[in-house]
Structure 1
């Protein structure tokens, strides 16, 4: 590796190797077509951004912000910044005004790049309140600026300021002086507990992550077509995308998360990292089809799932050879049922699919592997530059988060908390020395806040230490274990367990409204609106039956005794979900205080 930081020269080196081959693709919604961007063009844009940043007076290791959904411009800006030793701070495209204000002030951001109208509007309002924010640079030419806004410029205008070739000498000088000890990103985590904290990731963190992944992701090559679906703001997608670029993969950038099912079918990717929610929807869709089927078709589909389970989980996962008859049957289903399923989703060319960000329900993982989809379940944190552990494609075990990434050390506290040490671990939180000292020991061990244990070389997660509830009877409850079990049900969309300092366990449940309405129609249950439907005794009985079936394996004190069905889903707008769709329990407790108290009335 050269003296310069690896990411500061990456795109230029790949352009020298691949030239006019496509590096990126993005969907042009006006034309309904995917537009390729060659490595040469990508490298040209990166140089242009570097010069424009210098023309704007951006200093070495100054923080700039990128507040946008996934767009090629996010990557041009990132790599242009790295080449001139500038730090990029991504903000979630859905961030509220107060979240943006906090980050802009905390990081003293002078230049903020924004994606579309929503981001511009929020940023412009923040600019009126912020002393630091000097200029907003707008990616989308369709954004309409406020009438009185004389300072904001469009990305095309910003790039023009970098047309001055004489600035390239300064870019080259900065690149040559860059190194692994430069700060690359500050990633603000939208914690479930409250105030954001900025995780500092240096170039050395990314370089160590790339070296470690090279040892385990042996099948990823420059022939892979990768769909970027999670926000680039999320460390999982960010670190993965940078890594894919080091391998020369083609990145296909999904602009709107809600369009993912359409874009996957258009691109037919070989790899895509996602959260369990994506696979939960696939699972629910398949089971809905099975429930609607009858006769031979139904028994064929059920047999295909059972055959896949026995072949891939019972035998292959345990490194045993399947019996010949089972193997032949599996091959038959592989050509028929499984291949049709993969084609319907758009992943029939699949290489592997990294999945993390939340616990994967066991039956979802078993289902995905049963139909021959190569899901790689892992575990990671922003503070560890994403990956801590992952299941190798030929050596995984369901219910675990795989093997520890090479180069990382792991140990467990008396409470069972996972402690980590290694080059991919953050050096600390931006401007938060006390918090850094609290979570990272003097000899470099980082406290993850997650509990777990190792067995047969696999890491098992048990729960968030902070998330353990203690009932008023002194019993400890792991809410995520119960929630993960319930969301698999086709009638349940979201669930939050209530138990802390309470006599028994209760739950707030957001039903899968479409399924409940379908059930009402089939059973001739009359209702006026959704709220009325959810109060019907037949619906309560339906949910009670399903919950009782799902929670059989839990101890009596862990089981849900009462529940409330909610007519509205949990949302980011009401502050109930973080940007990564994790539940903010404290907010739910406040927003649904009346409903919760009602469940605990004698």
Structure 2
């Protein structure tokens, strides 16, 4: 299919699909889902696009969105694209100082804000952002400051666009038709795990190429699918995936409350959904807990069902081998009795594919999910590559890898086995940072990902470590902390892990336990405690975690194994700077905040 520039996409799809649903969202006041058709979506986009002209939004000007997932976010995106403007999405969880940095660098005049938290930060930020002229409020319940003279409600902006005259409509038409491959579409700011964020410049051609190669690779998806959008649309993974769904005519369900994903997924029952490994880690932990607490025949049945699923789905279907008759019969029986019920309990019984990326996913969890009939399409990509570089195919995929390269994407290894990428999805560069841009490109135009890996004999990419995370102990041994953290993350009693050891004589870890699981364990063992501080310091709890760590790291080399650890009574958070907006660990911050605890582990 021909891929149109995003300036023309919505109008073109509306002509094709008319009253067919494009997306739906929840009206929480009335507890009901509201459906929007392609025709309605096109009208909404056009009215906001015309309103932009009344505000004198210029071609290739940067406008910013600072909101949780909402239908208005997609309306704003495509209204901007119809004007050939550039969207700069800010994470809804970003602090005032974080948004100030981006607003100032991108010289944003118009900022769309979601709820009260975003409004309060944005209104306070205006004093330090000289370019900022107007805030447009999306949530009608937001209470404005008494002295606020720069804000306007989204519904009022919509009315302005609805009343636009023919001259403005002609101007909009000209802009839509003049969009070019080299037009900037979005500036996606990276999380900044080791320094200040950088704005990744993505063009029409980047997104068009991403759409084209995903259509070629993901032949199993169709208009019949339903996608649940729950990762932040600021994240390149969800952003590119949702755009892909719009291009394919796939219906999108917008989840506005990430904390409620466990209940929403059961309500929506999606066939496809992109997610990060953390979601599936929690699913795996919950199912394993169910298996471990089951007794007698029920436990035996669950274990036999998973084993039958592993043999059928992994040993035969994955390798495109014919499934033996009796194995197929046995699988269908166990699927009906057990596996289908597991999928239904999660909310994915209608599942087609579930793209997963953004962090390492344990092979143990990946294999388990496939055994249960949950088709994880594990992949690898970056903001700088408009998301996907590699991913699993429907068959032939190899555990321990992140799949094969997408069509027309080139991958090779550079110095220190760094993964280099070339192709039409690679960014134009970092916004206003020519020196940073020069650092990440080789002289012959290959993008340096910062990740180390290798291509195996079958052409699948194996990730080995994040080069910036890699550290060396004082004895000269190199440690890849993510591999250790991913393995420990399989355990039901461990929630978050930060491995320590740079220039130290051995490896240690700061561990955030899974508090609810610990409380249940304490109740079973009649362990008395007054608060979480006492619980994590309890000797029985310390012994439990030590045993779990020892078991999980048995296959690591001795120099890689955690010798000592510290349990914390509170989780890492974005508010304290320990996590990025994409929930990646900021190691320098953790090393600074927990200096005393770290030093105590080396005394």
Q: CA deviation at 1:5?
A: 5.6
Distance in 1 separating the partners of 2:46 and 2:602: 62
Cα shift readout 1:413-462 (whole Å, capped 9, x = no counterpart): 13100001111000100000001111112422000000111111211101
Distance in 1 separating the partners of 2:506 and 2:491: 22
1:529 aligns with 2:531: yes
1:337 aligns with 2:321: no
1:501 aligns with 2:503: yes
Distance in 1 separating the partners of 2:322 and 2:505: 50
Alignment match, 1:229: 230
Quick check: 1:226–1:251 contact (8 Å CA) kept in 2? yes
Distance in 1 separating the partners of 2:266 and 2:526: 37
Q: CA deviation at 1:165?
A: 3.0
Q: In terms of mean alpha carbon deviation, does 303-312 or 126-135 score higher?
A: 303-312
Quick check: 1:179–1:203 contact (8 Å CA) kept in 2? yes
Alignment match, 1:543: 545
Cα shift readout 1:18-69 (whole Å, capped 9, x = no counterpart): 1111111001111111100010000001111110111101111000000001
Identify unmatched segments of 5+ residues in structure 2: none
Q: RMSD across aligned C-alpha pairs, in angstroms?
A: 1.2
Quick check: 1:428–1:440 contact (8 Å CA) kept in 2? no
Task: Show structure 1 runs of 4+ deviating over 6 A.
Answer: none
TM-score by length of 1: 0.98
Distance in 1 separating the partners of 2:151 and 2:528: 55
Cα shift readout 1:192-222 (whole Å, capped 9, x = no counterpart): 1120100000010001111111111102111
Alignment match, 2:178: 177
Alignment match, 2:569: 567
Quick check: 1:417–1:449 contact (8 Å CA) kept in 2? yes
Cα gap change, 1:24 to 1:165, in 2 (>3 Å): farther
Q: How does 1:441-480 map to 2 (within 5 A)?
A: 441-455=442-456, 456-480=458-482
Identify unmatched segments of 5+ residues in structure 1: none
Quick check: 2:23–2:37 contact (8 Å CA) kept in 1? yes
Quick check: 1:5–1:178 contact (8 Å CA) kept in 2? no
Quick check: 2:472–2:501 contact (8 Å CA) kept in 1? yes
Distance in 2 separating the partners of 1:541 and 1:150: 59
Is the partner of 2:439 in helix, strand or coil? helix
Q: CA deviation at 1:345?
A: 1.4
Alignment match, 1:112: 111
Alignment match, 2:268: 267
Cα shift readout 1:220-245 (whole Å, capped 9, x = no counterpart): 11111110010000000001111110
Alignment match, 1:400: 401
Cα shift readout 1:307-363 (whole Å, capped 9, x = no counterpart): 212222233323333433322111111122111111111111111110000000111
Alignment match, 1:411: 412
Alignment match, 1:301: 302
Quick check: 1:384–1:424 contact (8 Å CA) kept in 2? yes
Quick check: 2:418–2:452 contact (8 Å CA) kept in 1? yes
Cα shift readout 1:362-416 (whole Å, capped 9, x = no counterpart): 1110111000111100100000000000101223122211110111111101310
Distance in 1 separating the partners of 2:282 and 2:92: 23
Is the partner of 2:508 in helix, strand or coil? strand
TM-score by length of 2: 0.98
Distance in 2 separating the partners of 1:425 and 1:532: 50
Cα shift readout 1:119-154 (whole Å, capped 9, x = no counterpart): 111100001221110000011111110011022000
Is the partner of 1:20 in helix, strand or coil? coil
Quick check: 2:319–2:395 contact (8 Å CA) kept in 1? no
Quick check: 1:5–1:180 contact (8 Å CA) kept in 2? no
Alignment match, 1:62: 61
Distance in 2 separating the partners of 1:239 and 1:410: 20
Distance in 1 separating the partners of 2:455 and 2:543: 40
Alignment match, 1:485: 487
1:125 aligns with 2:110: no
Is the partner of 1:272 in helix, strand or coil? coil
Distance in 1 separating the partners of 2:81 and 2:349: 36
Q: How does 1:128-207 map to 2 (within 5 A)?
A: 128-163=127-162, 164-166=164-166, 167-207=168-208
Alignment match, 1:83: 82
Cα gap change, 1:211 to 1:534, in 2 (>3 Å): same
Distance in 1 separating the partners of 2:160 and 2:529: 62
Distance in 1 separating the partners of 2:480 and 2:209: 34
Quick check: 1:511–1:565 contact (8 Å CA) kept in 2? yes
Q: CA deviation at 1:304?
A: 1.1
Q: How does 1:276-425 map to 2 (within 5 A)?
A: 276-425=277-426
